Amino acid sequence: MLKTFKMGGIHPPEEKISSNKQITFCEVPAQLLVPVDQHIGKPCEIIVEKGSVVERGQLVAKSTGFVSSNVHSPVAGKVDKIVKMPQLGGQIKQCALITPDAPGENYAEVLKKDSINNFDLDKLSVEEIRKTIADAGIVGMGGAGFPTHVKLSPPPEKTIDALIINGAECEPYITSDHRIMLERAEEMIKGILILQHLFDGVPIYIGIERNKPDAIETLEKAVKDHEKITVVPLIVKYPQGGEKQLIKAILNREVPSKGLPMDVGVVVQNVATVLAVHDAFYYKRPLMERVVTISGNLVKNPGNIMLPIGTPISYVMEKFEIDPQKVRVMISGGPMMGRTSYSFESPITKTTSALLFFDESRIIGREENPCIRCGSCIRACPMGLAVAQYTEMIKANNIAPAVRDSIMDCIECGSCSYVCPADRRLVHWMRLGKNLIRREN
């Protein structure tokens, strides 16, 4: 019997139109805007300045604490200046504007030049593995951007007895993880084995929704020599890629309210993150590029492309022949959780899984109508939250103490707003509620 999570969930149109497009490579753009902060946690400290000469893989910004993450230059070049630029998602952050030495070079060639590193996995200590991952600046590439080495360092009182690889990719349109699973399965498995080594050979589950049968097949072939790795096909349901939902679906364990996956002995890693871990060990390559799905109704030839971190969106639009005059809605990430953006000069970051371009037919920003208490939001909520009730309290800035923990449990998946017949911006109000509660604490 196929598995899925039980509570709530929705099934938006899948729109995986780029799923059969191989990962392509770009040319090195004329300029790269490498953002200094691309993760959740303490901001980095920038260590290059105007005029600095950088090599590929050289540190641009240094992590300033445990929950922080390094940033490296994907190309050899010169730092033109440090500028503040609008990011995908809206904030304005510092970027290192880097002019590459060899613009126009195919990025596949750049990748080929990276030296292959031979090592004996059994001889690596746990500390060495964590340090390599931390130094490589690897963060959760599914969208959140939480530093991976932190997730891989649970406190000693938490025993980890299962590792889940998140290949659910439940968001509409996005196919970057799907392509990685198809084309880079062997490397993924190698990356997974490194993580397995970290937790004393715990069993590993790769959760994949069954709308990707080819990926399930490929990975099942790839893991047949590894008896502790299991591919788990899942019923298609959004938001299955949410950590708590995925753990519930695969292991039927429920992460307690306010808790983390490690509270139920699980660590979840995204497919792209696992690939980055592989690269960090086998090529000594820090996280400097990622696969991005380019799609949306304005993209004639949707596809999946390997882009260096810092590639400006304008370069992508030129490459995919997207008419900037027609674009009205630009989303980084999927339509459910991704953010709308306003600048074509924003750069790709470690967490940009997709870029979607739409004309005005993508209806957003409709007027809110009164809540008719239909309860659709509550039925759709994968966390079982009484969204309609909470948002009324939040709007009145009168949050009952009893519901605070519940509001903080919101995973902002957007299912409630998606189903709301009155077009209410429920996720938006829930986010506001979270911020109000955080401010009070």
Partner 1 sequence: MEDKLEARLLLMDSSPSGRVVESTRRIMYTVSLTLLPAMAISVWVFGWEAVRVLVLAAVFCIGLEALIARFVSYKIDFLDGSALLTGILLAMNLPANAPWWMILIGSLVAIIIGKQVFGGLGQNIFNPALVARVFLLISFPVEMTAWPKPFAGVDAATGATPLGILKTEGVGALAKTNLADLAIGSMGGSLGEISAIALLIGAAYMIYKRYITWEVPILFIGTVFVFSGIFWVIDPTQYADPMFHILSGGVFLGAFYMATDMVTSPLTFKGRLFFGFGCGLFTIIIRMFGSYPEGVSFAILLMNAMVPLLDKYFPDKKFGMVQNG
Nearer to partner 1, 226 or 373 (CB): 373
Interface stretch with partner 1, choices 101-109, 183-191, 218-226, 310-318 (CB under 8 A): 310-318
Residues 161-180 that bind partner 1 (CB under 8 A): 172
Interface stretch with partner 1, choices 75-83, 267-275, 283-291, 418-426 (CB under 8 A): 418-426
Min dist CB 138 to partner 1, Å, is: 25
Which of 44, 232, 337, 354 forms a contact with partner 1 (CB under 8 A)?
Answer: 337
Binding marks (x or -) toward partner 1, 255..284, rule CB under 8 A?
xxxxx---xxx-------------------
Which of 7, 17, 144, 236 forms a contact with partner 1 (CB under 8 A)?
Answer: 7
Which of 66, 364, 395, 435 forms a contact with partner 1 (CB under 8 A)?
Answer: 364
Within 13 Å, how many C-alpha atoms sit on residue 360's CB side? 3
Which of 198, 204, 388, 394 forms a contact with partner 1 (CB under 8 A)?
Answer: 388
Which of 32, 98, 231, 330 forms a contact with partner 1 (CB under 8 A)?
Answer: 330
Nearer to partner 1, 111 or 354 (CB): 354
Nearer to partner 1, 69 or 415 (CB): 415
Min dist CB 309 to partner 1, Å, is: 18
Interface stretch with partner 1, choices 130-138, 209-217, 301-309, 404-412 (CB under 8 A): 404-412
Min dist CB 34 to partner 1, Å, is: 16
Start-to-end C-alpha separation, the chain = 44
Which of 105, 114, 183, 412 forms a contact with partner 1 (CB under 8 A)?
Answer: 412
181: exposed, middle or buried (Cβ count in 10 Å: 0-12, 13-18, 19+): buried
Nearer to partner 1, 133 or 294 (CB): 294
Closest CA to 148 of 270, 255, 243: 270
Size of the site for partner 1 (CB under 8 A): 77
Which of 48, 139, 170, 378 forms a contact with partner 1 (CB under 8 A)?
Answer: 378
Annotate the chain with three-state secondary structure: CCECCCCCCECCCCCCCCCCCCEEECECCCCEEEECCCCCCCCCEECCCCCCEECCCCEEEECCCCCCCCEECCCCEEEEEEEEEECCCCCEEEEEEEEECCCCCEHHHHHHCCCCCCCCHHHCCHHHHHHHHHHCCCECCCCCCCEHHHHCCCCCCCCCCEEEEEECCCCCCCCHHHHHHHHCHHHHHHHHHHHHHHCCCCCEEEEEECCCHHHHHHHHHHCCCCCCEEEEEECCCECCCCHHHHHHHHHCCCCCCCCCHHHHCEEEEEHHHHHHHHHHHHCCCCCCEEEEEEECCCCCCCEEEEEECCCEHHHHHHHCCCCCCCCCEEEECCCCCCEECCCCCCECCCCCCEEEEECCCCCCCCCCCCCCCCCHHHHHCCCCCCHHHHHHHHHCCCCCHHHHHHHHCCCCCCHHHHHCCCCCCHHHHHHHHHHHHHHHC
Which of 235, 283, 343, 436 forms a contact with partner 1 (CB under 8 A)?
Answer: 343
Min dist CB 358 to partner 1, Å, is: 8
Residues 10-69 that bind partner 1 (CB under 8 A): 12, 31
Min dist CB 299 to partner 1, Å, is: 15
Residues 98-157 that bind partner 1 (CB under 8 A): none
Rounded Cα gap, residues 73 and 311, in angstroms: 11
Which of 244, 278, 285, 404 forms a contact with partner 1 (CB under 8 A)?
Answer: 244
Nearer to partner 1, 185 or 255 (CB): 255
The answer to whether 86 contacts partner 1 (rule: CB under 8 A) is no
Instruction: Report the Cα 156 to chain-centroid distance in Å.
Output: 27
Min dist CB 425 to partner 1, Å, is: 5
Which of 327, 399, 436, 437 forms a contact with partner 1 (CB under 8 A)?
Answer: 327
The answer to whether 431 contacts partner 1 (rule: CB under 8 A) is yes
| Strand order across the beta sheet in which 229-234 lies | 229-234, 204-209, 162-167, 266-270
Residues 192-221 that bind partner 1 (CB under 8 A): none
Min dist CB 248 to partner 1, Å, is: 8
The answer to whether 302 contacts partner 1 (rule: CB under 8 A) is no
